[in-house]
Structure 1
């Protein structure tokens, strides 16, 4: 089973709370451009479905962005302590296919 998530560029100057209110989840992608990281947004429900099927730091996820596509692992999940609503995801690019 292949896990894939589609990312869109994160709008400049938009508060993360406003993104979540609009059904989007902010994410960061590290390691695909050396030391640089890029900010994106994904559909909140797609991210929830991905997290049900993936294990952080273990499961390879196909990440598709407007200018790049490759495999990554979920490095960090930020969520509310007791509500379990997601705040943020971090992905780290890996060369393994």
Structure 2
């Protein structure tokens, strides 16, 4: 999937210049890293707004088309207005094809409806973690990591260490940590009903 966006070099900087840019429908930003100096840029607000609504745009190598030249970049930061539907500033980092990158990738959970904990025990799938930080070369970066819960029973969990990573991709985690990614829990009301049903025959005796 080709993910590209257009930008132009920004010469005027400062609070006043950025405010005027935003009023004209542009978003100030910066692209940095690699063997080049940081470059101030501005982007069409409407174009980038729709791009940002795509999950894949936040976890992929992007093509920045800057004044006719193309560069590979990662989206590193988005500053939003506290209450308006407005992007205030964007940060992008240049990508070197030969250097490993660190990026958070979304998790996609599959087969929830056929998990024993849901289908047979009336449980609810609880997503504890929705994204995971990975390390890999740019060419190996996945759009998402799949988590299959088809064998998960109520009261059981899948931990970070159990995730199957694509070739060339490794999870970035603190030493000794293995957090829960997803679990299946029984709703309180359902658990109470089951307990009451179990006690009912004993009361009749």
TM more than 0.5: yes
Under a length normalisation based on structure 2, what TM-score does the superposition of the two structures give? 0.42
Q: How has the CA–CA distance of structure 1 residues 71 and 59 changed in structure 2, closer, same or farther, with 3 Å as cutoff?
A: same
Instruction: Report the structure number with the largest CA radius of gyration.
Output: 2
Aligned to 1:30: 32
Unaligned 5+ runs, structure 1: none
More strand by share: 1
Q: How do 1:20-59 residues align onto structure 2 when only pairs under 5 Å count?
A: 20-34=22-36, 36-53=37-54, 54-55=57-58, 58-59=59-60
More helix by share: 2
How many pairs align? Answer: 94
Q: How has the CA–CA distance of structure 1 residues 33 and 65 changed in structure 2, closer, same or farther, with 3 Å as cutoff?
A: farther
Aligned to 1:83: 84
CA distance in structure 1 between the aligned counterparts of 2:48 and 2:79, rounded to whole angstroms: 12
Aligned to 2:74: 73
CA distance in structure 2 between the aligned counterparts of 1:68 and 1:32, rounded to whole angstroms: 16
Unaligned 5+ runs, structure 2: 97-137, 140-205
Tell which deviates more after alignment, 39-48 or 25-34: 25-34
Whose relative contact order is higher, 1 or 2, with alpha carbons under 8 Å and at least 6 apart? Answer: 1
**Aligned-partner SS, 2:82:** coil
1:83 is displaced (CA, Å) by 2.4
Aligned to 1:9: 9
